[in-house]
Amino acid sequence: DAKTTQPNSMESNEEEPVHLPCNHSTISGTDYIHWYRQLPSQGPEYVIHGLTSNVNNRMASLAIAEDRKSSTLILHRATLRDAAVYYCIPRGASGSRLTFGEGTQLTVNP
Amino acid sequence: DTEVTQTPKHLVMGMTNKKSLKCEQHMGHRAMYWYKQKAKKPPELMFVYSYEKLSINESVPSRFSPECPNSSLLNLHLHALQPEDSALYLCASSLLPGLAGEIPPHIAKNIQYFGAGTRLSVL
């Protein structure tokens, strides 16, 4: 599985945009980039995934670098409920496992 | 319904006890997973069941014994645990297991849905 590097922690203010970076320089050409988050006292939940093109859904946007060695998860207007640990996960060829890195702890200030 | 239900939410057991963790989903998913999460650390995969058969065991000690009685249920039987086994145990499910080789688009979307976990304390 490709190794990922994410900041240990980030802070944002409520209703401001948040850009969460992830480096995955060893990603293979067939790996999709998945993002999950884990709210306090809950299991992880899926946020978004992509391969090459930028992706949007109701939760977030995913911007993928042209060389695919990095990606950025964008929360357009952070809310207090977005405070969580965010995990960037390249999905390997087997497709069955999720290998979680240390993730980024996002704090949202009121 | 995208819910994975885990019971109990909390469990305290002694090192000589036998207990079981339960996980249930009714989404028609054919892959189910057990993860272990220590405090302030990311989840770590323990077992994967594909079509009710054990497909991945991440070298987990035999004091953890998984069981998949049917496509909706996943159990984790615990026996003779150690204090260092205290952790949050997470169950997850996904529509289909992974496949070797290039990932078809529907597998790439193979989202895992997690339960809230069972917080286990071994005394």
Predicted local confidence at residue B95, as pLDDT:
82
- Quick one: average pLDDT of B47-64? 94
Peptide bond into B83 cis (omega under 30): no
pLDDT digits (tens, 9 = 90+) for B26-43: 988 889 999 999 999 999
* CB contact B116 to A (< 8 Å): yes
* Nearest Cβ partner for B98 among A49, A94, A99: A94
Predicted local confidence at residue A31, as pLDDT:
85
Instruction: Give Cβ neighbours of residue B105 (< 8 Å, ≥ 6 apart).
Output: none
pLDDT digits (tens, 9 = 90+) for B83-113: 999 999 999 998 876 554 444 555 556 789 9
Mean pLDDT (chain B, rounded):
90
* CB contact A43 to B (< 8 Å): yes
How far apart, in whole angstroms, are the C-alpha atoms of residue B33 and residue A99? 12
Q: How confident is the model at residue A93 (pLDDT cuts 50, 70, 90)?
A: very low
Choosing among B25, B40, B88, B103, which should be mutated to test the A contact, i.e. which has the most A CBs within 10 A? B103
Q: How confident is the model at residue A91 (pLDDT cuts 50, 70, 90)?
A: confident
Predicted local confidence at residue B103, as pLDDT:
46
Predicted local confidence at residue B104, as pLDDT:
54
Predicted local confidence at residue A30, as pLDDT:
79
> Can you list the positions of beta strands (E) in chain A?
9-13, 18-23, 32-38, 45-50, 55-56, 61-64, 70-75, 84-91, 104-109
Predicted local confidence at residue A80, as pLDDT:
97
Phi, psi of A65 (to 5 degrees): -65, 155
Choosing among A32, A96, A104, A105, which should be mutated to test the B contact, i.e. which has the most B CBs within 10 A? A96
Predicted local confidence at residue A65, as pLDDT:
95
